[in-house]
Structure 1
Amino acid sequence: MASMAEELEIKLSLEPDILVQAHSWLSAQPEAEEGSTKSLINCYYDTPGAELNQQHAALRVRQAGDQYIQTLKTRGDFVDGAHRRQEWEWPVTGPTLSPGLLADTPLGERVNLARLTSVFETNFTRQVIMLDDGEAVIECALDDGFIAAGGQQKPLHEVEFELVSGDPKRLLVWAQRLARACPVFLNLVSKAEQGYQLAGLAVSELTAAENTGTKANGEDDLDRFLKRLSNAWLEQGRVSLEGLDIQVLAAQAEAYGLGQAFAEVIDALAERQPVQALLGKPELGQCQLGLLAYRAGLSLSA
């Protein structure tokens, strides 16, 4: 029987050596309790025409030890730096996909389930640290591994803050705290989107023609700036600042005590430096998360 829930999480990408630093810092916090460490093998499925990805859905079977879980996720919304999406889960008896379980989900009538086949894997070790600060309970997962598709591999080093209960804004608070301790990159690109890109099947809003001046409903310049950063990270390219009101973002950064850091980030991007060149520096992640915190009304001391 399926369990359906709403998932809310903030995802940060880190350089490999910084992931070790992040683990040390998180473990040392008085609100932290060390959790489990597991090796996770995740096989993602789609049709040859990538019909699931076109509908911004991701389907996988995960092996953790001798347990297998089949999961379907929607892409959902981006809210204050966090992904919010629906998720269905079923325990299954082995690594093989069970298409019949999808019949009662939104995919049941939209996709030819008989055409589903494996397209890529995301395999990593996950270390869990639980955070309970009295206002929220957060599961912090540190993932270290790789994505594999078509004989190619791409490294995977991430920290995910997922809300278990309490105030959703605490996700942003904790992500900011980590960004002050070590360099991070707020990444809007999911593991599944990275896998599709490696498999040559990317059909993502992030990789669409986002560098035009068109704004999606409800998006502001910060949302568009963050999407462009993530898109450039995925494509290992450069970020266009065209059509963005950088002066407004600079004023917000200044009001939040990040004026100099934001100026350094914008100068680097204006000089056409790739996002990858900024990943080892603290300014990028601090500005991403600080601007979101300013918009959310969080104080500097949060």
Structure 2
Amino acid sequence: MAEELEIKLSLEPECLKTVLHWLQAQPGAVKGGKKSLVNCYFDTPDAALNRQHAALRVRQAGEQYVQTLKTRGEFVNGAHRREEWEWPVAGPSLSLGLLADTPLGDDINLARLVPVFETNFTRQVVMLDDGEAVIECALDDGVIVAGENQKPLHEVEFELKSGNPSRLLAWAERLAQYCPVFLNLISKAEQGYYLAGIHMAEPVVTENAGPTADGRDDIDRLLQRLSSAWLEHSAVSLKGVDLLLLGAHAEACGLGQPFAKLAEHLAKGGTLSHLLGKPELGQCQLGLLANRARQSLSF
């Protein structure tokens, strides 16, 4: 079992090449290979695995197959921290015996697992080494497929391979200054479940539970609401979010005016559809998180 820590940013399709060129231009960047990945996710007919906040897939890359189990984990300063188990397997079918010693072994009838949806995409990798951390940047371009339903998939993931975890947020914030991005808390698996019309897991558990005077609660809550609204193509619920407090934090990191416009749009019931191609959305999301991280280090 390993631990995965990554930040995922959704992109508009026309931004994929822009992001790739930007990544390749960074000092210490090394362009890796490009692969076509076919990922089949499994669950029981009553979505028992999803209700346990886990995802199980078999990934095909060329002639190689890897079976992976991930927990949903927690949200930490813009990144997802998950437990992950991986095993090479002979083909596209599940190897149930490998799951016996995982959290699924005792709680789920493994014999009932069936294919539910697929995420199929090409992945271009760029490795970054900035002297403080080694980060794998994966640009994914493809579709999520559930029966007759399809959903486009355009993302860049920053995954920590070694070094300082805070560099994930630093690199994501730098990219947001160059290209419009959307900090997305909804995993590929959750998107697939939603597309399949299957039970949705509860919101991501954050490290910052409970109300705090510095707005930690409100930042995480707003980010979660934005992601849910993105998935559901709905207005963003602002119930319980202190926009005045968040506005003050945005002002402190030089984003007062962009955040004020964003807050006004959301308060009027506006959706994210026309914001996704604009830089202010991702800049506000990542700027608030980065400012909070800096404040934490100062204490």
TM-score w.r.t. structure 1 length?
Answer: 0.93
CA distance in 2, matches of 1:224, 1:7: 23
Task: Tell me the secondary structure at the aligned position of residue 243 of structure 1.
Answer: coil
Task: Tell me the secondary structure at the aligned position of residue 277 of structure 1.
Answer: coil
CA distance in 2, matches of 1:281, 1:202: 32
- In structure 1, the partner of 2:185 is 188
- In structure 2, the partner of 1:249 is 246
- 2:138 is the counterpart of 1:158: no
- State the 4+ residue runs in structure 1 displaced beyond 3 angstroms: 215-219
Q: Give how far 1:147 is off.
A: 0.1
TM-score w.r.t. structure 2 length?
Answer: 0.94
Quote the RMSD (CA, aligned, Å). Answer: 1.5
- 2:294 is the counterpart of 1:264: no
- 2:71 is the counterpart of 1:74: yes
The amino acid of 1:238's aligned partner reads A
CA contact (8 A) 1:193 1:202 kept: no
Counterparts of residues 137-286 of structure 1 (less than 5 Å)? 137-206=134-203, 217=210, 220-286=217-283
Q: Give how far 1:35 is off.
A: 0.7
Q: Give how far 1:206 is off.
A: 3.1
CA distance in 1, matches of 2:143, 2:177: 26
Deviations 1:249-295 (A, max 9, x none): 11111000111111111111122111122100000000000000011
CA contact (8 A) 1:206 1:228 kept: no
The amino acid of 2:124's aligned partner reads Q
The amino acid of 1:8's aligned partner reads L
- Structure 1 unmatched runs, 5+: 208-214
The amino acid of 1:132's aligned partner reads D
Task: Tell me the secondary structure at the aligned position of residue 237 of structure 2.
Answer: coil
The amino acid of 1:107's aligned partner reads L
- 2:28 is the counterpart of 1:16: no
CA distance in 1, matches of 2:54, 2:167: 27
- In structure 2, the partner of 1:211 is none
Task: Tell me the secondary structure at the aligned position of residue 273 of structure 2.
Answer: helix
- In structure 1, the partner of 2:84 is 87
CA distance in 1, matches of 2:178, 2:66: 34
* % identical aligned pairs: 70
- 2:138 is the counterpart of 1:122: no
- In structure 2, the partner of 1:48 is 45
CA contact (8 A) 1:206 1:230 kept: no
